[in-house]
Amino acid sequence: MSALGVAARAASRLMAAAPTAAKNTALLALARRLRAEGPALAAANARDLQAAEAAGLAGPMLDRLRLTPAVIATVAEGCEQIAAMPDPIGEITGVKRRPTGISVGQMRVPLGVFGMIYESRPNVTIEAASLAIKSGNACLLRGGSEAFHSNQALAALVAQSLEEAGLPAAAVQLVGTTDRAAVGLLIAMPAYVDVIIPRGGKGLIERIAAEARVPVIKHLDGNCHCYVDAEVDLDLALRVVDNAKTQKVSPCNATESLLVHAAQAAAFLPRMGAVFAAKGVEMRGCPRSLALLQGVPGATLVAATEADWDTEYLALVISIKVVDSLDEAMDHINRHGSHHTDAILTTNHPNAMRFLREVDSASVMVNASTRFADGFEYGLGAEIGISTDKFHARGPVGLEGLTSMKWVVLGQGEVRG
């Protein structure tokens, strides 16, 4: 593992100094090769799929493992989109003359080497490689063992594309996927790895965060809230809360909990409950909300327990609570939420501003669906992940999350007195 680390560190120096044109050439070459090598990729993927079926893997895991023509087309297009983005590296900002005569500013540079740890999806190999190339970093990739042959085949195309562009093949290296100890080594080499980005279940991510000896850009829960304020456009609130809960229930930015101001509860909850009932959304309510939802035909109503306020369902379930003030709503969100994404539905400007300032979440929204919390929706062009931490990067993380700012000082022979 440390041999891989040494090679990655050396490659990272060349990548940091690589011209933008060379990085884009590598990305476009990779897109071309992905499209041209469809049959070879399918053959490698078939070996993984056969082994996974033989091992009795569940259907959803097989789906994630499958490198279909559509998946390949999507990652190839992703490479082209990243090639078309501005190069984040080399940007110099804020240069100001100081009284001593020196000029001081900051230059954006790559972090160096990142390690990515992920599960069965082989397409993450290409996503990580393309982000590394554009951001001038090297990376060490640790995919799932079930995707071994697929990842090998994809990594070979990445290496060829890097070499075609005159860049070091060691900028993107696979870490032996069969050795379970490899993850433990990868996350404990501060000399060779600058940051770890895990993707996968909460258990995996918590374990990595607990054991890592380098920084981790991590995403844990998405217990997101919509709060319907005392002054509100009810039709707008119905539309947004419906979308936030039901448009897709599995993403982390789907709403899990609805808070309604007492002044609107009687007008809002029966209508909202009818929408949820029609879509088969189970409602776990506080006593006041259940009393108002009682008459909704076909509603599945359950009394909420304390645990419900802390739960990310990722399912057709929502917890509902009536609150008496904006302060109570914000207290509830800051206490029970996961600091991911929370929205207020309101027509009251001071309340909107207070919610934006005082709710301690990575994304705070006014009159918009929590489902918008996403790197592409935010215009980042590419998303490395979503951070639920505050340090370094918060919320959707784009290419800039793989960079840092160094100081540049331009002098004419100044000395310190």
Shorter beta-carbon distance to a second copy: residue 9 or 66: 9
Please give the DSSP secondary-structure letter assigned to residue 286.
-
Stretch that binds a second copy, among 140-148, 167-175, 261-269, 394-402 (CB under 8 A): 394-402
* Whole-angstrom distance, CA of residue 153 vs CA of residue 236: 49
Does residue 139 bind a second copy (CB under 8 A)? no
Stretch that binds a second copy, among 23-31, 47-55, 138-146, 355-363 (CB under 8 A): 355-363
- Residue 40 CA neighbour count, 13 Å, CB half: 12
Does residue 368 bind a second copy (CB under 8 A)? yes
Among 164, 271, 372, 381, binds a second copy (CB under 8 A): 372
Stretch that binds a second copy, among 71-79, 287-295, 309-317, 358-366 (CB under 8 A): 358-366
Pairing of strands 395-397, 385-387: antiparallel
Question: In Å, what is the CA distance from 28 to each residue of 22, 31, 86, 171, 381?
Answer: 10, 5, 15, 16, 16
Least spacing, CB of residue 365 vs a second copy, in Å: 4
Does residue 415 bind a second copy (CB under 8 A)? yes
Indicate the residue type of 366.
V
* Whole-angstrom distance, CA of residue 376 vs CA of residue 74: 14
Does residue 314 bind a second copy (CB under 8 A)? no
Shorter beta-carbon distance to a second copy: residue 159 or 212: 212
Which residues inside 75-104 make contact with a second copy, applying CB under 8 A? 90, 96, 98, 100, 102, 104
Least spacing, CB of residue 244 vs a second copy, in Å: 8
Which residues inside 322-341 make contact with a second copy, applying CB under 8 A? 334
Does residue 357 bind a second copy (CB under 8 A)? yes
Residue matched to tokens 């120096």: 13
Does residue 385 bind a second copy (CB under 8 A)? no
Indicate the residue type of 170.
A
Shorter beta-carbon distance to a second copy: residue 216 or 286: 216
Does residue 233 bind a second copy (CB under 8 A)? yes
Q: Which two tokens stand for residue 53?
A: 């079926």
Q: Which residues pair with 258 in a beta bridge?
A: 226, 320
Question: In Å, what is the CA distance from 385 to each residue of 67, 240, 255, 388, 402?
Answer: 21, 24, 19, 10, 11
Does residue 215 bind a second copy (CB under 8 A)? yes
Structural contact between residues 189 and 369, judged by C-beta atoms closer than 8 angstroms: no
Coil/strand/helix, residue 108? strand
Least spacing, CB of residue 85 vs a second copy, in Å: 15
Least spacing, CB of residue 368 vs a second copy, in Å: 3
x-or-dash pattern for a second copy, window 165-204, by CB under 8 A? -----------------------------xx---------
Shorter beta-carbon distance to a second copy: residue 350 or 391: 391
Q: 142: which residues sit within 8 A by CB, 6+ positions away?
A: 115, 116, 117, 118, 174, 175, 177, 182, 183, 186
Does residue 239 bind a second copy (CB under 8 A)? yes
Number of residues that bind a second copy (CB under 8 A): 66
Does residue 285 bind a second copy (CB under 8 A)? no
Least spacing, CB of residue 308 vs a second copy, in Å: 21
Does residue 369 bind a second copy (CB under 8 A)? yes
Q: Which has the closest alpha carbon to 241: 231, 229, 250?
A: 229
Among 361, 383, 384, 399, binds a second copy (CB under 8 A): 361
Pairing of strands 92-97, 103-110: antiparallel
Q: 414: which residues sit within 8 A by CB, 6+ positions away?
A: 100, 101, 102
Q: How many residues are recorded in the chain?
A: 417
Least spacing, CB of residue 320 vs a second copy, in Å: 19
Please give the DSSP secondary-structure letter assigned to residue 168.
-
* Whole-angstrom distance, CA of residue 286 vs CA of residue 309: 10
Does residue 22 bind a second copy (CB under 8 A)? no
Q: Which residues bind a second copy (CB under 8 A)?
A: 13, 16-17, 90, 96, 98, 100, 102, 104, 107, 109, 111-112, 194-195, 210, 213, 215, 233, 236, 239-240, 242-244, 247, 334, 343, 356-358, 360-369, 371-373, 377-379, 390-392, 394-396, 404-416
